[in-house]
Structure 1
Amino acid sequence: MSFASLISLPQRSSFKVCGELREVLFWPCTSGRPRAVLLLIPGNPGLIDFYIDFCNELHAQFPKELDIIGTSHLGHTRFNDNRGQKHRSTKPYGLEDQVTNMLAMFDQIDQTYMHLQPRMLLCGHSVGCYVAQRIVAERTDRVHRVFSLFPAIDKIADTPRGKQLWLLFRPGARQLVAAAVDMLRWLLPTRAIFKLASLSKSLGESNTRVVVDKMLHGPCINSILKMAVDEMQKIVEVDEDLYAKEGEKFVMYYGTNDMWVPKDRYIKMRNINTKGIVRLCNLGISHAFVTTHSAEMARVMIEMLTKDKLGAEMQKA
């Protein structure tokens, strides 16, 4: 038994990509020679801690053959760097900032693993699917497969949830909300804020603590809402040309009662991406699966991986 085997997963770290410090969680394979590397791209808010249970289940199924790398979106969270110092970004990051830096991160990962020649996989959730889509457009020959979970890639503003939250996307709203959050933290102790956040009962205790400790800060809220505003304005039409050319790379999973990705988007994508796999959930898994359905979503993901030729190879290994 090695000392490394005694360390619980995920391994938590940070590293710079184009001058920006990123929070990273890592699930390394036990063999040291992965057949595949999966980069997980979160939705918005983009806190990678939300996905720990999901990735734990996924990694446990392929412990010898799969490396999983997950990263938070820039500016969405406060985290400790590798020296244990709290990293506080005060710069707001928009959608293009996230896409550009995530593409650079993919390149760094791809180059690091080049000598092992694993298959490079992307898993996007919600708007993370849009970011993954952009990476495929730029690095077509380097991406083997994309798993798009509840893909928010089409007219996000024209959805039930987008219409409900329109006030948050008005000019000046994000600065006002961010200032209110900072004022709340100044007025109340963390314990009181946690009790208030727990009243919603939608996140669970562990995710609520993550939100209060790492996300509920003015600059983080500013970046989250800046990215959201960009999503409403810039994610308008599906990139039909991409799916016509590279549709077979995509495995897409849609919900039946999704306020961000209505069922008509599933029907539309079935007609657009005729080369790939486009599935409709029949298990009642919600768009925000990280709050209540991590294990169920992981089992679906394992099934999708297993049906893939690479997944079958990993299970035999």
Structure 2
Amino acid sequence: MNEAFVEINNVRTKVVTWGRWIEESAGSTNKIIILIPGNPGITNFYQKFAKTLYERSEIPVWCVGHAGHNFSDKSVTFPKFDDNKHLYGLSGQVEHKLEFFNKYVPENAQVYLIGHSIGAYMCLEILENISIKNKVENAYLLFPTIEYMAESENGKFLIKFVLPYIRFILILAWLINLLPSCLATILIYIYMFIADVPREHLNSIKELIQPGILKRVFFLSREEMDDVNQRNNKSIIANVNKLKFYYSKIDRWAPESYYNNLKQEIPNVNAELSKINHSFVLHYSTDVATIVADWISH
């Protein structure tokens, strides 16, 4: 595994790779798997998934964090939030992924693109770029939040019970970060137990509750509620032979009804239902990685 912060769309961005690094020559294969996370776009959440996918497929995996979502130390600074909100919103994150492709993905690359949750939305947007479309062999959209997010069960909860209290949540995160490390860790473990988050994600949660990171995560969430409405059928139809959609019967962000609507409106789309939770990286990283690796190999 290799990881570093590189500049993409004027934001220092965390990229983690298994196999070749983004600036290494292709070697014996021009195949690459590129993973675009959901929100939060913290790469640590996807380590087990990406590592398993690399081991199963034997293809280099590149995980690109979202702009402003990964904390390192004081040596890595981001453009100030209040003056640069356009870099951290939904359209900014799409531009961010476009620049990553243009800057780091070779012209002759054969890309297998994976988007989780809002990452699936970003995949559909960047596939409208002809140069990227030509590089992408297949795109796998996992638990895709690509339409009417605010009308989903979780979307309604977020709008009513979370977004109005962002200021309070940020103050609470700031206070937790002021505590002695051992006490803060105990409180985080209590939260993780209540929320059923495995202990292996402790560092990911610590990263998430940095106030600056959390502010950018919530900003993206608010724009998702406002802007993810009508499905991008234009991109889906234009790329239908490349796309695979993976929904869940128990998903409260992208419910089964959205899957049914997609199948009805675009009958030839490749889509299937599972019973795996939307936040698969918490409990089912190995299972989903194995499924995706099998899709790629066939």
Normalised to the residue count of structure 2, the TM-score between the two structures is: 0.88
Match of 2:109 among 109, 118, 127: 118
Match of 2:221 among 228, 234, 237: 228
SS at match of 2:259: helix
Distance across 1 between alignment mates of 2:267 and 2:235: 12
Match of 1:274 among 267, 275, 286: 267
SS at match of 1:105: helix
1:47 and 2:42 are equivalent in the alignment? yes
Residue 177 of structure 1 is matched in structure 2 by: 169
Between the aligned residues of both structures, percent identity stands at 21
Distance across 2 between alignment mates of 1:62 and 1:148: 17
Does the 8 Å CA contact 1:34/1:67 hold for their aligned counterparts? no
Distance across 1 between alignment mates of 2:182 and 2:141: 37
Distance across 2 between alignment mates of 1:276 and 1:79: 40
Q: CA deviation at 1:289?
A: 0.7
Residue deviations 1:129-161, cap 9 Å, x none? Answer: 001111101233332211100000110010111
Does the 8 Å CA contact 1:43/1:124 hold for their aligned counterparts? yes
Residue deviations 1:49-70, cap 9 Å, x none? Answer: 111111111111232xx22110
- Given the superposition, is the C-alpha separation of residues 189 and 98 from structure 1 closer, same or farther in structure 2, using an over 3 Å criterion? same
Q: CA deviation at 1:306?
A: 2.0
Does the 8 Å CA contact 1:194/1:209 hold for their aligned counterparts? no
Distance across 1 between alignment mates of 2:17 and 2:181: 29
* Structure 1: segments with no counterpart, 5+ residues: 1-9, 308-317
Residue 154 of structure 2 is matched in structure 1 by: 161
Match of 2:201 among 200, 204, 207: 207
Query: How many corresponding residue pairs?
Result: 282
Match of 1:304 among 292, 295, 298: 295
Residue 74 of structure 1 is matched in structure 2 by: 67
1:58 and 2:53 are equivalent in the alignment? yes
After superposing the two structures, state which structure 1 stretch, 92-101 or 125-134, moved more: 92-101
Q: CA deviation at 1:29?
A: 5.2
Does the 8 Å CA contact 2:16/2:64 hold for their aligned counterparts? yes
Residue 76 of structure 2 is matched in structure 1 by: 87
The alignment's C-alpha RMSD in Å is 1.9
Q: CA deviation at 1:94?
A: 1.3
SS at match of 1:247: coil
Normalised to the residue count of structure 1, the TM-score between the two structures is: 0.83
Residue 230 of structure 2 is matched in structure 1 by: 237
1:128 and 2:119 are equivalent in the alignment? yes
SS at match of 1:144: strand
* Structure 2: segments with no counterpart, 5+ residues: none
Distance across 1 between alignment mates of 2:153 and 2:287: 25
Amino acid at match of 1:133: L
Amino acid at match of 1:234: D
Distance across 1 between alignment mates of 2:147 and 2:218: 18
